[in-house]
Amino acid sequence: GSHTQLEDRAPRIVEHPTDVLVSKGEPATLSCKAEGRPAPVVEWYKDGERVETDREDPRSHRTLLPGGSLFFLRILHGRRGKPDEGVYVCVARNYLGEATSRNASLEVAGE
């Protein structure tokens, strides 16, 4: 018959983040979209460390969008450093495995 069994699938990244150059205080988005069944959970890592978003910290200036992209309300940049600058990857996971996106660098435009 035409009955199709929906099979669970390991995640795959269908939209990778790209390098962005942002002025400080401006918003920015790092894109990421993943497919899989069950729908994968997306996490972001910056320079190898997990990025906290408003899901863990309501005061965070970083929001994980429903599709998996990472949105910055404004890029933080101060005399004491550039906390948002770095190399980001997004990782999509479900019980069948995980997929890692390409690296994307976020740079703050120099003064």
Residues 6 or more apart whose CB falls under 8 angstroms from that of 5 comprise none
Does residue 76 sit within a domain?
yes
pLDDT digits (tens, 9 = 90+) for 32-79: 999 999 999 999 999 999 999 998 898 999 999 999 999 999 998 877
How many whole angstroms separate alpha carbon 36 and alpha carbon 49? 24
Distances (CA, A) of 60 to 29, 64, 72, 76: 15, 10, 9, 11
The domain of 31 spans: 9-108
Whether residue 3 is contained in a domain is answered as no
Of 1-10, 52-61, 69-78, 91-100, the least confident = 1-10
- Find the mean pLDDT for residues 98-109: 97
Q: CATH number of the domain at 94, please.
A: 2.60.40.10
Q: Domains in the chain: how many in total? A: 1
Task: Indicate whether 78 belongs to any domain.
Answer: yes
